Structure 1
Amino acid sequence: MTLSFKQAIDAFNMDQHGTALQGIGRGIEREGLRVLPEGKLSKQRHFPALGASLTHPNITTDYAEGLLEFITPVSFNAEESIAQLQDIQKYTLSNIEGELIWPASMPCFVNNEDDIELAYYGESNIGKMKTVYRQGLKNRYGSMMQVIAGIHFNFSFPESFWQTLKSLENNQDDMQDYVSAKYFSLLRNYKRFCWLIPYLYGSSPAICPSFLQGKETSLPFKKSETGYLYLEYATSLRMSDLGYTNSEQSSLRICYNNLEDYIAGVQEAISLDSNKFQKLGVKVDGEYRQLNTNVLQIENELYAPIRPKQVARSGEKPSEALKSRGVEYIEVRALDVNPFAETGITQEQINFLDIFLTFCVLKESPTLTCEEQNICEENMDKVVVSGRDPSLTLKYLGGELSVKEFGSQLFEEMIEVAAILDKAYGTEKYSKALAFEREKIIDPSKTPSALLLAVINEQKTSLTRFTLDNAQSFKEAAIKRDYQVFNEDYFKEQAKLSLKKQQEIEQSDTVSFDEFLTNYFAS
């Protein structure tokens, strides 16, 4: 039997089950553009002191050479996760020769897309493949979309939680299959309610006009007195059609009802040819323009606000890892960089995400029909461009609800989740985090998107000036702070080891790049 939401809450309120929620695992991937002190995009290659972006465990690059990505190891303590991120940023900021990290999702002023240099990962076959993949992204969608920064939040429940829940439900399935099925229950509820994430944490209601680069848009932008484009009620332009979207993917129907159908959908997408991308060609005049002409070059190209994940082994594709060992954790991808926080995410945000994701796994989660999945996506699309509009309504259970009505219903249920987490950890931080976020449902002016628009419209401050001032103050605070989890010697050693490892990978290649790609996609 599957427990009802009330039964699950009652069970985890019992003393013998409460501690099963201890040991939630978290990891953070934070992206940030390197910029010059005047606010222009850095053209400096990846600094040698940061090691090799191909192999460094904590400091790498995403799309562009200047788009840093900081990766924390799994931690079972939210405070430690933030401390890890602070240490990584302290070392980085101390070794990029006066440059700053842009503390916002939407990029700084970019004079020309050609100023954005693709990330370079060395001369190994796998390194070249990563760069060619980015060349494909550039040719398919343009470079501007790829220098948008975000926060990816990796989350896993402890084994004790799964064992307790499985026992309470008297479930006889194999543990790996049970855990995967339960993570997919979480994914479905996340899809239903994920509009809440950009509403609460969307921090990109405005952009620098250079972002459009002449691109046509139907969005009804207004212009601030300081020259920035914004939508009056937007929460996250990063998650809108201007940001991480792919029209070719709109026809895909990736199923979140079970692991098997999800994998089948992803594998179909990476083998489905695109007429649009076919016109680009693959290898033209000896130069690769993309990895292939499929809707997805590789699985990473699937844009989704959440993903089921399993740690992939060397040479293993993400879907192969999932098929072999099931879901190990989930990756939340709908978070903007918080421009008011040094690390782009706060401990309070992590506490709320713990509540929200626990709520998603405990609440009843019927299978998603195609129609309901479309409704979920429509709700998300509405909130990212007009989430604070008092007249906005969202669809739910066959009816229409205002954001305040829908949000209040969810928060009422999450009170009980916050209570069991407080009890499990012997704290009040979860109830306090929930109360803080609930204020944003009651009063939209307290959302970060509204606060940011107040800066440029009411205070008449340049968005660039505001972001640069924050970048500078965040840098000063980071450099003054002592290391907390790591130390300088650790980062120097990792830089040295990563460079050595990249060299070893390059020397171990035995086939040409063309043959390497053929073998990779044949498998």
Structure 2
Amino acid sequence: MFSRIGEAIYESEAVAKTSDFTVGLEIEMQRIDEAGNLSQEPYPAGIGDEQTNPWITNDFLETMSETVTPSAKHSLDAMHYLYRLNNCLRSALAPGEMLWPLSMPPRLPEDKSKLVLAKMGPKKEAYLKEWAKRHGYSQGTPCGAHLSLSIDQHVIDLVLQKFPDYFSDERAVRNHLYTVVAQGFVRYRWLLTYLFGASPVAEAGYFDKDDFLAHPLRSIRQSKYGFGTKFKGDYTNLTAYINRIEEGVKQGILTSNYEFHGPVRFKGNRNLKDLPKKGIEYLELRMLDLDPSSSVGIRTGTVRFIRLLASYFIMHPAMKESEVTPLLDKANQMNQITAAEEPTAPSRYQATALAIIRHLEHYANQIQLGPEYSEILEDFEDRVVNPMTTPSVRLLNYVQDGSLEEYALRRARRYQRAALETLHPFRGFEDGRIYTADELRKELAW
């Protein structure tokens, strides 16, 4: 059943526009040496300056490379940009350097203070030092795939036109739609953890000597043992979202609003307090492990699935404001349970997961999406029915003495060789040029 907004969009024959999100990708990967240690090499000179190049930069550690694509209208374009930037980074690495393909880091030294924090300027470095002091170095090292989603302007204009008594202006429409989509992703984050969790074990040094896991997990990164701050956001509405983060800073739980690392972040104005003035401009989704079966850490089918989910959330009834907090609290618990499950066991929420996938199949047919979406949903239904087909279990096949190092190095070498064999890698950052998004799109389109 569509919501009133969904019905208006459907009747206006604009439902296809709800999946036409503009997509941006951010992929984190650790630089390593041939032996599987974190690299001792500096930020690669062939990709400019880490403090000024917004497209290939560092995050937390000096070895944690972050590749950022310009936004794209289509999933394939976003993936094309990512492949070209990933090859650009790889071709600039020092001899013997590679990119670690797993979310959990390679082996870490016993003395974590020897790890070099990202050299991103005095202000950022001070923040990173304080963060490491509060949370420990290990919890800053897991890498992931982040997606940014921006709703098609035609959808926003249409909703404003159809509901002038409900929305005062375009900003109000954007805030409402983005909040609904954010709530949907937080509510079903556990399903993404099941489908895409790919961090069943940790390498030596990640846990302290007295800490250990009783068994492999679906996703260490998405569990309580994973990345950093566990501060819970409030997604009831934009005002509640901002107030919750500011309260966290005021109480000293967060060092700054930048430290809020929830599964979804509202993005727009850089200053959180100014976000209400212009409204939410896009969402940042932060709940995906790296996919080691892809050289760039994510697959096109995953991006398409995320876009389908977002479209589904726009078209269907939103949660009542009074229900948001209890429902999302329950969803967070479900995510922790899912992340910590034995990977080879069926999900505790298998029946619910199957119901969601089948709803999505019905929806995809209803709005006449292409056969590629049917194939994706069939594949994910198989993953729900048979946990042995999930990424985390596939990785368990390669675990030796509790480690995935041999597998990761084999993949890293293969991906590095392939990148170095690229005939015309993008080298536009060598002279330190800073590209706008439009300029970079044109360069990467070759």
Aligned match for 1:333, one of 261, 275, 286 = 286
- Alignment partner of 1:107 out of 105, 108, 114: 105
Higher mean alpha-carbon deviation, 104-113 vs 164-173, is at: 164-173
- In the superposition, the TM-score normalised over structure 2's length comes to 0.90
Give 1:51's aligned residue: 48
Q: What is the DSSP-based 3-state SS (H/G/I as helix, E as strand, rest coil) of the residue aligned with 1:34?
A: strand
Match of 1:301 in 2: 259
Q: Give 2:337's aligned residue.
A: 382
Return the alpha-carbon distance in structure 2 between the equivalents of residues 165 and 39 of structure 1.
52
Q: Tell me the residue number matched to 1:241.
A: 224
Tell me whether 1:418 sits opposite 2:364 in the alignment: yes
TM-fit CA distance, 1:324: 1.8
Superposition pairs of residues 449-468 of structure 1, within 5 angstroms: 449-456=392-399, 463-468=404-409
Distance 1:176 1:137 in 2: 34
1:491 to 412, 429, 432: 429
Please name the residue that 2:443 is paired with.
none
SS in 1 for 2:205: helix
* Matching of residue 93 in structure 1 with residue 32 in structure 2: no
Q: Residue 256 of structure 1 corresponds to which residue in structure 2?
A: 235
Aligned to 1:186: 181
Q: 1:496 to 1:371 in 2, by over 3 A?
A: closer
Partner Cα distance (1:42, 1:115) in 2: 12
Query: Using the alignment, how far apart are the partners of 2:214 and 2:108 within structure 1?
Result: 22
For residue 352 of structure 2, the aligned residue among 394, 400, 406 is: 406
Paired AA for residue 110 in structure 1: L
Q: Percent identity?
A: 21
Alpha carbons of structure 1 residues 184 and 22: separation in structure 2 relative to 1, 3 Å: closer
- 1:371 is displaced (CA, Å) by 3.1
CA contact (8 A) 2:19 2:311 kept: no
Instruction: Note closer, same or farther for the CA distance 1:321–1:343 as it changes in structure 2 (3 Å cut).
Output: farther
Deviation for aligned residue 1:45: 2.0
Listed one character per residue, the Cα deviations across residues 108-165 of structure 1 (whole Å, up to 9, x for unaligned) are 01123133101112xxxxx201000000111111111111111111111101122234
CA distance in structure 1 between the aligned counterparts of 2:98 and 2:410, rounded to whole angstroms = 10
Residue 364 of structure 2: SS of its match in structure 1?
Answer: helix
Secondary structure in structure 2 of the residue aligned to 1:415: helix
Structure 1 CA distance, aligned partners of 2:20 and 2:341?
37
Tell me, in whole angstroms, the C-alpha distance in 2 between the residues paired with 1:179 and 1:209: 45
Q: Is the Cα–Cα contact under 8 Å of residues 346 and 386 in structure 2 kept in the other structure?
A: no
The answer to whether the 8 Å contact 2:103/2:221 transfers is yes
Pairing 1:164–2:162 present? no
Corresponding letter in the other structure for 1:265: R
Counterpart amino acid of 2:296?
A: T
**In structure 2, what is the Cα distance between the partners aligned to 1:475 and 1:144?**
26
* Structure 1 match to 2:248: 269
TM-score, with structure 1 as normaliser: 0.77
| 1:422–1:433 Cα change, 3 Å | farther
Cα pair 2:160 2:169 within 8 Å, conserved: no
Q: Could you tell me how far apart the structure 1 residues matched to 2:220 and 2:403 are?
A: 18
Equivalent residue pairs, number = 430
Compared with structure 1, are the counterparts of its residues 392 and 477 closer, same or farther at alpha carbon in structure 2 (3 Å cutoff)? closer
- Matches of 1:11 and 1:94, distance apart in 2: 49
Query: How far 1:266 moved relative to its partner?
Result: 1.2
Please give the secondary structure, in 1, of the residue aligned with 2:125.
helix
Which one of 117, 127, 133 corresponds to residue 133 of structure 1? 127
**Aligned-partner Cα distance in 1 for 2:361–2:37:** 44
Provide the C-alpha distance between the structure 1 equivalents of 2:201 and 2:92, rounded to a whole number of angstroms.
31
- Tell me how far 1:245 sits from its aligned partner: 4.2
Q: 1:361: how far off?
A: 2.5
* Contact 2:9–2:159 (8 Å) recurs in 1: no
For 1:399, the equivalent position in structure 2 comes to: none
SS at match of 1:111: coil
Give how far 1:67 is off. 0.6
Whole-Å separation in 1 of the counterparts to 2:17 and 2:8: 11
Q: Distance in 1 between matches of 2:378 and 2:314?
A: 21
Cα distance, 1:264–1:43 mapped onto 2, change above 3 Å: same
Give yes or no for contact 2:19–2:310 (8 Å, CA) kept in 1. no
Q: Contact 1:422–1:431 (CA<8 Å) still a contact in 2?
A: no
RMSD after superposition:
2.4
Per-residue CA distance 1:460-515 (angstroms, 9 max, x = gap): 895101001101111122222345xx832x2224x3459xxxxxxxxxxxxxxxxx
The 1-side partners of 2:86 and 2:201 are apart by 26
What residue number does 2:371 align with? 428
- For 1:446 and 1:45, locate their aligned partners in 2 and report how far apart those are by CA, in whole Å: 38
- Cα deviation digits, residues 378-409 of structure 1 (max 9, x gap): 1010000106464753xxxxxxxxx2210111
Q: 160-169 or 108-117, which moves further after superposition?
A: 160-169
Q: 1:369 to 1:203 in 2, by over 3 A?
A: same
Once the two structures are superposed, residues 429-471 of structure 1 have per-residue CA deviations (whole angstroms, 9 ceiling, x without a partner) of: 22222222121111111110011012227xx895101001101
- Structure 1, residues 34-54: CA drift from partner, whole Å, max 9, x if none? 000110111222122221111
| Correspondence for 1:513 | none
> How far apart, in 1, do the equivalents of 2:208 and 2:402 lie?
23
Matched AA of 1:136? E
Asked if 1:477 corresponds to 2:430, the answer is no
**5+ unaligned residues in a row in structure 2: which ranges?**
436-446
| Structure 2 residue matching 1:473: 3-state secondary structure | helix
Larger radius of gyration: 1
Give SS of 2:285's match: strand
Give the partner amino acid of 2:214. P
